[in-house]
Amino acid sequence: MTGRILLAELRHSPLRWAWPVLVAIDLFALFGRSDHWIGVWSQTSAAAQVPAFYLGPAMAALAAWTAARRRRENAGGWMDAAARPAPVMECVHLGITLAYGVTAYGVGVIAAVAVTLPGGGTHFFWPGYVLLGLVVIVLCTGVGHAVGRAGTSLVAAPLGTALVLFVLFSFFGFVPQGAEWGLGLMVVSGYPDVVTAAGPMLARSALALAVVLVAVAVGRRLRSTPGRPGWPGVPATALAACGFLAVSVVGFATAGPVLQQRGVPDEPLCTSHEPRVCLWPESRKYLEEAELMSRRVAALPADLFTSPAAFHETGLRGETTMGSGFHIREGEMWEVATSLAIRVQEMSTPPYCDAVTFDEDEKRWAADMELISWLTARIAGGGKPPTVHGGPPGVDEKTVHAIVAEPEEVQAAWAGERLATIRETRCA
Amino acid sequence: MPDLRSRLRLCHPTGVALGAAGLLAALVWLGGVAMPVPVATGGDSTVQLRMIVVLAGAILVAVPMRSPMADWEAGAGPRARRVELTLLAVLASAGAVLVGVGEALVRSPESAASLLRAQLIWLSLAVVSARLLGGWSRAWVLPLATIFPLTYLGWDAAGEVRWWNWLWQPHTAAGCWALAAVSLTGAVLALWATPWRTRRLRGRPRRGRGAPRAVPARPGNRTKEPAAR
């Protein structure tokens, strides 16, 4: 019987009109941006979660709208007439709303997994970020339902919840970086060196569940109170739900950061050639390019440059300091080449010291930057892609990159000059 | 005037006034705060809070427009209709004055011009939404839905703002003013196309053909149209 009520609500919910729009927003948000995440499981999971930033507030508005059904014109309360307990009907109502939101989100997740499956390798699906997005959607739906039930205006409730949540998420929703403060409910990228922590994820899920329970409890009371004679009794369920909400808020606040350093892998993915460039197994689609880079590093003039034995992607050796490895930011291999170039440069020149005069310091700085620019172009195997903006400060990159096309001896002589400038700088 | 006053008293006047005051305060004090949002490609990945405030203000107009007696008013005469249009005009101009004067005093007349343009577009969309989706209570749908393209897809790969991105295009951008004109036309059309007018439009060709109406439906007689022979 309840099953048939569920089906009826599924057919009657105004969300059936919104569902295609939600799916469209999800897919646009997923595929409208750059496609660097395709083939990298950690990034795929994060990319599938990004649409939750929009779906969450949208679901809050829609839940507020459908929850206020009794107040709406031409939308009779057929559910009020059902011969079922009020909490069951409330669960049916909110459950169907959730089902529409979660399936719209699910379509995006399935699409993201489907495009990554062919190239992603064996490190199958990272559920962490997807769960985070799910938490956001459930949380927003619960808030919207409660506001829609409690509110008195059909316009202000959806408008207010959606915009307040949108502004809130925009300021505080994302996982904080550095000193700023954030709720840690969303990420914009998923590097393979960080994973979601189990405890904080559990706290977030509990919070979402608590909000849904409060929405059901509040909604049930608002449904049943009018028209009932006398004191309706102690709202035990509502009090219990609010208590659970309070506990879960405390849990959420004390659970700590949602992202944590990932454990060191047993076998990182390394190039066969010396110097080895090592990647996380998730980044396997960059291995071919890394192989080429490693060969190009090996082909640098051996009498001028010494290369480290291996380069590592950030986090591969369990380090936490910045700059101890390279990041593959948005799949941009040029930046990897820059990191490699800086490492080679560091190995090939004496450690930094304060120069005797300001002039020498300036000269050394210029030579340093030019060399890094040249090394980057050498290691990347050509000119700078148009998607990369900025570069080493004070360098005429066009001229430096033109040198890469010159014969090897000319390049060696050019680099030798710069190296000499650096090495001959007298220390104070 | 007494008509308008009694109409105003019907629909959350305190709440609307408080909301408008809150929005105005947010516009004046926090309007310049940049909100980070995810974007698809390049460009400015923020939205200024005043843009969201103006969006909220444009939709807030729908709160008093939605009469709790909408069902009865659907069958009301020209007097109720006149009151409805007057109320809309009053609310829209009040909103425009608040946004325009507030923004011009706190920031610059240029910024005020682009905000007024955004307000015009959103308010028109709210009117269209109300008419298309069936009532003022649905006026929030279309304007709220524009947030996604405006914030997420509003910039091209080279980091240039797209011609239709009325949040970030300067106040001189012709494309956005064209959009504003189009949506205003849409709103006027939506206000004009009342049920009795659209019914008359739809009814005319049928009368022209002179086809007799089908047998009126009786209880128990569930066939809608006589089968074509």
What is the residue-wise DSSP string for B77-141? Answer: -HHHHHHHHHHHHHHHHHHHHHHHHHHHHHS-HHHHHHHHHHHHHHHHHHHHHHHHHTSGGGTTH
Domain that holds residue A105: 2-261
Reply yes or no on whether the pLDDT at B225 is more than 50: no
pLDDT band with cut points at 50, 70 and 90 for residue A412: confident
Asked if A237 and A322 sit in the same domain, the reply is no
Q: Which of A212, A237, A261 is at the close of a domain?
A: A261
> Is there a domain that residue B43 lies in?
yes
> Is there a domain that residue B213 lies in?
no
Q: What is the token pair recorded at B125?
A: 């969309």
Asked if A165 and A224 sit in the same domain, the reply is yes
Q: Which of A214, A229, A261 is at the close of a domain?
A: A261
Reply yes or no on whether the pLDDT at B227 is more than 50: no
DSSP string spanning A7-28?
A: HHHHHH-THHHHHHHHHHHHHH
Give A70-119 pLDDT, tens digit per residue: 666 555 566 667 777 777 888 888 999 999 999 999 999 999 999 998 88
Asked if A169 and A311 sit in the same domain, the reply is no
> Is there a domain that residue A44 lies in?
yes
pLDDT band with cut points at 50, 70 and 90 for residue B219: very low
Candidates A168, A155, A139, A135; CA nearest to A64 is A155
Nearest to B140 among A28, A32, A158 (CB): A158
Nearest CA in chain A to B40: A33
**Non-local CB neighbours of B138 within 8 Å, separated by 6+ positions:** B129, B130
> Is there a domain that residue A47 lies in?
yes
Q: Which residues of B touch A34 (CB under 8 A)?
A: 40-41
Give B13-56 pLDDT, tens digit per residue: 888 899 999 999 999 898 888 888 888 776 677 888 999 999 99
Tokens 């408080």, residue?
A: B18
A276-279: strand order across its sheet? A269-270, A276-279, A310-312
Q: What mean pLDDT, rounded, does chain A reach?
A: 85
CB burial string B87-123: b at 16+ within 10 A, e below:
bbeebbeebbebbbebbbeebeeebbbbbbbbbbbbb
pLDDT at A27: 95
> Is there a domain that residue A404 lies in?
yes
Domain that holds residue B113: 2-205
Asked if A153 and A40 sit in the same domain, the reply is yes
Reply yes or no on whether the pLDDT at A402 is more than 60: yes
Q: What share of chain A in percent tops pLDDT 90?
A: 30
pLDDT at B205: 57
Q: Which of A261, A284, A302 is at the close of a domain?
A: A261
Asked if A253 and A339 sit in the same domain, the reply is no
pLDDT band with cut points at 50, 70 and 90 for residue A252: very high
Query: Which residue numbers of B have CB closer than 8 Å to A's CBs?
Result: 12, 15, 19, 35-41, 47, 49, 52, 55-56, 59-60, 62-63, 66, 70-71, 135-137, 139-140, 144-145, 147-148, 152-153
pLDDT band with cut points at 50, 70 and 90 for residue A207: very high
Asked if A324 and A378 sit in the same domain, the reply is yes
Q: Do A166 and B66 touch (CB under 8 A)?
A: no
pLDDT band with cut points at 50, 70 and 90 for residue B122: very high
Which of A9-18, A322-331, B61-70 is the least confident region? A322-331
> Is there a domain that residue A428 lies in?
no
Check: CB of residue A119 under 8 Å from CB of residue B104. Answer: no
Reply yes or no on whether the pLDDT at B229 is more than 50: no
pLDDT at B226: 47
Q: Do B62 and A171 touch (CB under 8 A)?
A: no
Count of the separate structural domains present in chain A = 2
Reply yes or no on whether the pLDDT at B210 is more than 60: no
Instruction: Give Dmax (Cα) for chain A.
Output: 98
Q: Do B40 and A29 touch (CB under 8 A)?
A: yes
> Is there a domain that residue B107 lies in?
yes
Nearest to B52 among A54, A154, A167 (CB): A167
Asked if A210 and A294 sit in the same domain, the reply is no
Query: Which residue numbers of A have CB closer than 8 Å to B's CBs?
Result: 21, 25, 28-29, 32-34, 50, 53-54, 58, 61, 72-74, 152-156, 158-160, 162-163, 166-167, 170-171, 174, 188
Maximum average pLDDT range among A1-15, A34-48, A92-106: A92-106
Q: Which residues of B touch A73 (CB under 8 A)?
A: 70-71, 135, 137
Greater confidence (B179 vs A358) lies with B179
pLDDT at A353: 79
Asked if A147 and A289 sit in the same domain, the reply is no
Reply yes or no on whether the pLDDT at A424 is more than 60: yes
What does the DSSP 8-state code read for residue B211?
A: P
> Is there a domain that residue A164 lies in?
yes
Reply yes or no on whether the pLDDT at A300 is more than 70: yes
Whether ipTM exceeds 0.90: no
Asked if A240 and A276 sit in the same domain, the reply is no
Please give the Cα distance from A411 to A173 (Å, whole number).
50
Task: Classify residue A142 by burial, with Cβ atoms within 10 Å: 0-12, 13-18, 19+.
Answer: buried
**Nearest-CA distance A21 → chain B (Å):** 9
Q: Do B60 and A156 touch (CB under 8 A)?
A: yes
Task: Count the Cβ atoms, other than its own, within 10 Å of residue A319.
Answer: 15
Nearest to A159 among B38, B144, B152 (CB): B144
Greater confidence (A231 vs B33) lies with B33
pLDDT band with cut points at 50, 70 and 90 for residue A50: very high
Reply yes or no on whether the pLDDT at B211 is more than 80: no
Count of the separate structural domains present in chain B = 1
Q: Which residues of A touch B52 (CB under 8 A)?
A: 163, 166-167
Q: Which residues of B touch A163 (CB under 8 A)?
A: 52, 55-56, 144
Asked if A242 and A334 sit in the same domain, the reply is no
Please give the Cα distance from A35 to A111 (Å, whole number).
13
What does the DSSP 8-state code read for residue A172?
A: I
Asked if A229 and A329 sit in the same domain, the reply is no
Alpha helices by DSSP H, listed for A151-185, are 156-168
Asked if A238 and A276 sit in the same domain, the reply is no
Please give the Cα distance from A266 to A123 (Å, whole number).
13
